[in-house]
Amino acid sequence: MSESLFADASKRLARAMKYVSISDDALEYLKYPKASLTVSIPVRMDDGSLRIFQGYRVRYDDTRGPGKGGVRYHPNVSLDEVQSLAFWMTFKCAVLNLPFGGAKGGITVNPKELSKLELERLSRGYIDAIADFIGPDIDIPAPDVYTNPTIMGWYMNQYSIIRRQLTPAVVTGKPLSLGGSMGRDTATGTGAFFVIETMMAKFDCPPQQTTVAVQGFGNAGSVVAELLAKAGYKVVAVSDSQGGIYAKKGLDIPSIRRYKEANKGLQALYCEGSVCNIVEHEIITNEQLLALDVDVLVPAALENQITETNVDHIKAKYIFEVANGPITSAADRVLEAKGIYVIPDILANAGGVTVSYFEWVQNRSGMYWSLEEVNQQLKRKIVAETENIWKISQEHAIPMRTAAYAYALQRLGEALSAKGTRHYYAS
DSSP E strand stretches across 304-424: 318-320, 341-343
* pLDDT score, position 5: 62
Per residue in 51-106, pLDDT (tens digit) is 999 999 999 999 999 999 999 999 999 999 999 899 989 999 999 999 999 999 99
Per residue in 135-162, pLDDT (tens digit) is 999 999 999 989 999 999 999 999 999 9
Share of the chain above pLDDT 90, in %: 76
Residues 122 and 213 in one domain: no
Amino acid type, 232: G
Q: Kindly state the DSSP code that residue 20 receives in the 8-state scheme.
A: S
Average pLDDT for the chain: 92
Q: Kindly report which listed range (13-17, 178-182, 325-329) carries the lowest average pLDDT score.
A: 13-17
Q: 310 lies in a domain?
A: yes
Per residue in 119-137, pLDDT (tens digit) is 999 999 999 999 999 999 9
Residues 62 and 158 in one domain: yes
Cα–Cα nearest to 347, from 169, 185, 192, 150: 192
How does strand 275-278 pair with strand 269-272?
Answer: antiparallel
Query: Other C-beta atoms within 10 Å of 96: how many?
Result: 23
Q: Mapping DSSP to helix (H, G, I), strand (E, B) and coil, where does residue 344 land?
A: coil
Q: 86 lies in a domain?
A: yes
Q: Does residue 1 carry a pLDDT above 60?
A: no
* pLDDT score, position 52: 98
How far is C-alpha 142 from the geometric centre of its chain's CA atoms? 11
Structurally, the chain folds into a number of domains equal to 2
Query: Other C-beta atoms within 10 Å of 383: how many?
Result: 15
Q: Does residue 229 carry a pLDDT above 90?
A: yes
CATH code for the domain of 331? 3.40.50.720
Residues 305 and 195 in one domain: yes
Residues 94 and 222 in one domain: no
Q: What is the mean pLDDT of residues 226-240?
A: 95
- The catalytic residue positions are 104
Per residue in 364-390, pLDDT (tens digit) is 999 999 999 999 999 999 999 999 999
CA–CA gap between residue 295 and residue 155 (Å, rounded)? 41
Q: What is the mean pLDDT of residues 10-28?
A: 79
Per residue in 259-293, pLDDT (tens digit) is 887 777 777 766 666 666 777 788 999 999 999 99
Of residues 121 and 19, the one with the higher pLDDT is 121
Q: Which long-range contacts (CB under 8 A, 24 or more apart) does 197-200 make?
A: 197/231, 198/383, 198/386, 198/387, 198/390, 199/318, 199/320, 199/341, 199/343, 199/386, 199/390, 200/296, 200/318
How far is C-alpha 28 from the geometric centre of its chain's CA atoms? 26
Mention every residue, 6+ apart, whose C-beta is less than 8 A from residue 336.
342, 399
**pTM score:** 0.90
Q: 397 lies in a domain?
A: no
Please check whether residue 198 is in contact with residue 185, taking contact to mean a CB–CB distance below 8 angstroms.
no
Q: 195 lies in a domain?
A: yes
pLDDT band (50, 70, 90) for residue 3: very low
Residues 135 and 228 in one domain: no
pLDDT band (50, 70, 90) for residue 43: very high
Residues 43 and 156 in one domain: yes
Q: 67 lies in a domain?
A: yes
Among the candidates 170, 196, 230, a domain finishes at 170
Residues 210 and 159 in one domain: no
CATH code for the domain of 105? 3.40.50.10860
Among the candidates 144, 170, 196, a domain finishes at 170
pLDDT band (50, 70, 90) for residue 41: very high
How does strand 50-61 pair with strand 101-108?
Answer: antiparallel
Q: 427 lies in a domain?
A: no
CA–CA gap between residue 5 and residue 125 (Å, rounded)? 28
Residues 241 and 158 in one domain: no
Residues 142 and 111 in one domain: yes
Q: 316 lies in a domain?
A: yes
Residues 165 and 199 in one domain: no
Please check whether residue 125 is in contact with residue 111, taking contact to mean a CB–CB distance below 8 angstroms.
no
Among the candidates 298, 331, 348, a domain finishes at 348
Please check whether residue 253 is in contact with residue 225, taking contact to mean a CB–CB distance below 8 angstroms.
yes
* pLDDT score, position 273: 66
CA–CA gap between residue 132 and residue 159 (Å, rounded)? 10
Of residues 23 and 70, the one with the higher pLDDT is 70
Residues 252 and 148 in one domain: no
Q: 93 lies in a domain?
A: yes
Please check whether residue 291 is in contact with residue 297, taking contact to mean a CB–CB distance below 8 angstroms.
no
Domain that holds residue 307: 187-348
Q: Work out the end-to-end distance of the chain between its first and last CA atoms, rounded to an integer number of angstroms.
A: 44
Residues 197 and 143 in one domain: no
